[in-house]
Structures are given as structure tokens and as C-alpha cells.
Amino acid sequence: MIWIDTIVQGVLLGGLYALFAAGLSLVFGIMRLVNLAHGDLIVMAAYLILVLVTLLGIDPFLAALIAAPFLFGVGWLLQMHVLNRTLGPDILPPLLVTFGLSIVIQNALLEGFSADSKRLSVGQLETASLALGPVNVGVMPLLTFISAIVVIVALNRLFYSTSLGRAFRATSDDAVTASLMGVRPQNIFATATGIAMVVVTIAALYLGTRANFDPTIGPARLIYAFEAVIIGGLGSLWGTLAGGIIIGVAQTLGAAINPEWQILAGHVAFVVVLLLRPRGLFPRAVD
Amino acid sequence: MALLQTENLTAHYGDFQALFGVDIRLEEGETVAIIGANGAGKTTLMRSISGVLRNQPEAIVFDKDRIGSTHAADIVKKGIAMVPEGRKLFPSLSVEENLLIGAYGRKTDGPWNLESIYSMFPVLKERRTNAGTALSGGQQQMVAIGRALMSNPRVLLCDEISLGLAPVIIKDIYAALPKIKETGTSIVVVEQDIGQALKVADRVYCMMEGRITLEGSPSDLSRDAIHNAYFGASA
């Protein structure tokens, strides 16, 4: 029974990692841009939610709802005026620029909020739990997992059932030919990053409500996100969810054996998948 | 004034000059063929008109608008669509999605929609859920033409639509052009296959080394004149 409980908790933790990774997967899938500042953007969004909660005295969920459109704008402007300039055949410029951005965000947050760790409080929800058959699950981990599924389903519908989604995929295939269809690749990239920032806001909400955060934890979230994306197959959204779950389950199983093994077990699972399936579990056919 | 006109158009790839003062015009409802050997500058001319290459703001006039510095996406919205050389279908889109993306920049309704494209190329309806790139070369060309038509353009630019296709397929593809013309769409056909081009064109331009070397209606041009303009007088 303990093992079933451990696996269920791992699956739910995987939802959080999938949320970390979904925005990264979206951006990589469309413009082949590896955003090294992704983890720091999640932390920045968590601080923005915290500021709104503190200033307006509102619930973190409502604060995230207010922060999401603002962060969409931040993502749009960041892509349009900074990251679009780095895109091209050479992969080094976007890596360098987003690495620099990561350092800027961390230091700005340290300057503005100090190194003290913070947390978003959701009151009784933090400790509430539900009995699901033989195991009890926390309401917040369950909400996190459901949110991850909703985000993945929504992004898939956007990608495969809308005109904007067709434009995303066409631009990803061939930006020059897409422009001959009336698509402006620069706008498409900016919109994609804007949407990724909305997903980042959701990830930040659950990051901040489930654990303490401080300005320096972004790079570690980036690593989990990276591993989930790579395990799932670059650019595959359902694969990203599967990747998150694999890391989550590996971490909880590792922790059940020895608490010191939690983080290591996640990384080991990543290496094992990479050895067995170098292109991930669900690689895109056209990559 | 012509519907589409280039005036002393030049084009460069870095330091390399590909077009030298090219003047062409296309009247409303007309089909113009641009013929020439490999490297003559035909595709560069198409890329300049469609906005992929943006060199000279003043050198291209469409419906009294100077569009030489206009982004390709806005040129489609103005009414010029291109069937690019090599078809360039989107591999991650199905046949139907490839057609639908052609309407992304559509501003006005017109005769072309999924139904009319499927009616012109029935095989595409049967294969509509397949990946565009899983089709035969001829079927892919049909998708590329249909995709361009989905924006209901006033001008259709066809770049080497016979390239790499079997003669019997080329005949089918070219049979679609008069139907397109009947809807009022003006057409520019770029071709190495002189015979096909002369059959559909009202007027012909011949290009060599980035310059127009001959212009006229197919009935007025002798075989020798075309030969000289195509390969050079000394060939």
C-alpha cells in the first residue's frame, strides 16, 4: 500500500514538473529556442503573484488570474524586442542572451525581495486532503495535476484545432514559406512566448503554494523542466506530461528508499530514458 | 496602368547582383510566362514580387501601390499569392491544414475555398487527412496551388510548377491554369519548360543573366528569337 501511495504522490508531483516544462516545450517546439531563463521567469511570476497578494490582499488564485495577462504582455515584448533578434541558424545567441537574462532576473529579484524565502498561502487548502480509494491525496497536489492536464489539453487544442495553431506549426516548419501565407513569424513567435508566460504564471502559482521559493531556485526548476521536455520528446506536449510524471515518480520512489536519493533518482531516470530513447518517448516525426 | 509592374528592378544576395533593371508588367486577367534557363533570375524576380526579398521600395507597383519594401505577409493580404519553387508544403500539417493555412492572410471572400479547390483537384479531398508531404509530387503541387488560391489572390505567381514532375502530371497541373484564369485571377508562370509556358501565356518574357532579353506574345515570337534570348545569341 505504501508503494501505491508513493507512486500516486509521484504522479501528482509530475503534474508540477509538467507545468514547469509545458511553457519551455511550447517555445522550443515552435521556434527551436532553448530559454535558459525559463526557471527564473517562473520564480519572477511567483514574486509577482506574491506582490499582488500582499498589496491587494487577494487570494493567490485571483492574483495569478490578474498576473497572467500582464505576463503574457511581458513575454510578447521580451520575444518581440529581445529574443527575436537572436533567432537564426546559430543556436549560440539565444543561449547566451537567455543565460544573461537568467542572471539579470535573479539579481533583480535579490535586490527587490532579498534572499529570504517566501511562500504563497492558500489557507486550509494547503493541508486539505481527499481519500481516493486506498490512498489519501492532498488537494493542492491534485489541483496541480489537474491544472497540468488542463494546460496540456488546452495547448493541444490550440495547436491542432485553431488557425493560430496551424500558423504556429507552419512557422515552426518553414518561417519563410509561412510568411507567403500571410503569417508574420515575428508576431507568431511573440504570441507563443506570451502564451508560454501564461503557463509560467500557472506553474508559479503552484510552485509558490506548495513550497518556499527564493530568487535563486530558478535554475533548478529549469533542470526539471528540461528533463521533462527531453524525456517526453522535444516539442511533444503530452510527452512533456509523461516526462514530468516519470521524474516525479522516480523522485518519490527514490525518497521512499532513502530521502537523500530524491533528487538524484529523478536525474537517474532522465539518464536512463535518454540512454534507451535518445529522442525521447514521443519525438515529433518531422524533427 | 498595369495591375502589377516592376520598374528597373534590381536584386542582390549580399554582394551578388541577381537582377539588373528588370521591367515587366501584368494586366488584369492576363497570364504572363517568364522563361529562362537555370540561374536566369526568374525565381529571384518571384521572390522580389512576393516580398521574400525586399530590396527596392519603389521598384514594384501593384494596383498603384508601391510594394517593394512590403513584408511578404502583407503582400498576400494585398492580393498576390505565390506557389513557391519546390512546393514547400508544411510537413507537420495535413493536406487540408496546408490548404487552410493559405487562407490565413485572407482579407476578402472570393471564388476559392476548400470546396472549390477539392472540386478542381478531387484527389486532394480523398487524401485530405494525410500529411501533405506524404503525397506524390503531382499531388503536392496541387496542394501548393490550392494553398495559394485559398487567399483568393488577384495575382497568382507560379514558380516552376512543372519541376520534377512526369509529363502526364505536368499536363494535369497546367490544365488547372485556364480554370484559375476564368475566375479573373491574373497569373505569372515562371518556367524552364518553354512548350508548356507558351501554351498558357498571353505574353512571354525571356530572362537571361538577370535581364529581360525578349518580350512578346507567343504567336509573334519565332523559335530562333526565343532560342537566342534563352541561351544567348552565340549559343
Chain A's closest residue to B147, CA to CA, is A181
Confidence at residue B235, expressed as pLDDT on a 0 to 100 scale: 47
Chain B's closest residue to A185, CA to CA, is B73
| CATH number of domain containing B204 | 3.40.50.300
The pTM assigned to this predicted structure is: 0.90
Contact of A221 with A39, CB cutoff 8 Å: yes
Q: Which of A170, A183, A284 sits opposite B93 (nearest CB)?
A: A170
A284 pLDDT band, cuts 50/70/90, is low
Overall domain count for chain B: 1
In terms of C-beta density within 10 A (0-12 exposed, 13-18 middle, 19 or more buried), how is residue A187 classed? Answer: middle
Distance of alpha carbon A183 from alpha carbon A34, whole angstroms:
23
The residue with cell 503569417 is A183
Q: Which residues of B touch A (CB under 8 A)?
A: 50-52, 71-73, 76-77, 81-82, 84, 88, 90-93, 97, 100-102, 104-106, 147-148, 151
ipTM for the predicted complex comes to 0.91
First-to-last alpha carbon distance for chain A, in angstroms, is 42
**Structural domain of residue B79, as residue ranges?**
4-231
Q: Would you kindly state where each structural domain of chain A is located, as residue ranges? A: 2-276
Confidence at residue A271, expressed as pLDDT on a 0 to 100 scale: 96
Q: What is the CATH number of domain A2-276?
A: 1.10.3470
The residue with cell 533578434 is A85
Buried b / exposed e across B149-187, counting CB within 10 Å, b at 16+?
bbbbbbbbbbbbbbbebeeebbeebbebbeebbeeebbb
User: What is the per-residue pLDDT across A225-278, written as a single tens digit (0 to 9) for each?
Assistant: 999 999 998 878 899 999 999 999 999 999 999 999 999 999 999 999 999 999
CB–CB contact B92 A184 (8 Å): no
Distance of alpha carbon B61 from alpha carbon B77, whole angstroms:
15
Residues of A in contact with B147 (CB under 8 A): 181
Residues of A in contact with B50 (CB under 8 A): 180
Q: DSSP secondary structure string, A228-266?
A: HHHHH-TT-HHHHHHHHHHHHHHHHHHHHH-GGGHHHHH
Percent of chain B with pLDDT strictly greater than 70 = 98
Confidence at residue A1, expressed as pLDDT on a 0 to 100 scale: 64
Confidence at residue B234, expressed as pLDDT on a 0 to 100 scale: 52
Cα of A13 to nearest chain B Cα, Å: 32
Window from A198-207, B10-19, B221-230 with minimum mean pLDDT: B221-230
Q: What is the rounded average pLDDT of the residues A25-47? A: 94
Residues of B in contact with A285 (CB under 8 A): 91-92
